Amino acid sequence: MSMINKPIPEFTAQAFHNGEFKTVTSEDVKGQWSIFVFYPADFTFVCPTELEDMAKYYEELQGLGVEVYSVSTDTHFTHKAWHDTSDAIGKINYPMIGDPTGVISRGFGVMIEEEGLALRGTFLADPEGIIKVCEIHDLGIGRSAKDMVRKVKAAQYVATHDGEVCPAAWEQGQETLTPSLDLVGKI
């Protein structure tokens, strides 16, 4: 079942953020664009490369009015320990949400029940908490934060330009399309 245009699931969780533990709820994330980056587990292999890659683009994303939340089935205590011991994870300034019960992972449809881990899922929600982008990978396939930034810009453009759509590989500043009968069969 597709998550596109559905509201993010309700949740309340503990996160490690900027050296502190804090509570994050589904209501807290509304009012701005949000990216949820689910990953299998702390202290692993592909996960730190992805989270470090996202950290590289975090400032740009914040400039676009986007908050990033990484989520795994580890606890917020484990997130702190990983942040304190890993050079890659030490670069993270966005909230790292703990989901030890798997409630959030199940709500987003990425829980691997038999392993108690989440798939690599990336979700972009608009300020109303409606999911606009959903991408789910198998565990061995890493994601690109650079491409997620491109998707954020496209989603924000479409949200503010009624009737326009962004073609494949669209980059900010490029031409968009206005679907019409005149375009059918001409692209």
Q: pLDDT tens, 99-121? A: 999 999 999 999 999 999 999 99
Phi-psi region for residue 31, left (φ > 0), alpha (ψ -120 to 50) or beta? left
Residue 47 among the catalytic residues? yes
Contact of 118 with 99, CB cutoff 8 Å: yes
Can you give the pLDDT at residue 183? Answer: 75
Q: How is 101-137 classified by DSSP, letter by letter? A: T-HHHHHTT-EETTTTEE-EEEEEE-TTSBEEEEEEE
Question: Quick check: 85 pLDDT over 90?
Answer: yes
pLDDT in tens, 142-182: 999 999 999 999 999 999 999 999 999 999 999 998 888 77
Catalytic residue selected from 47, 110, 111, 154: 47
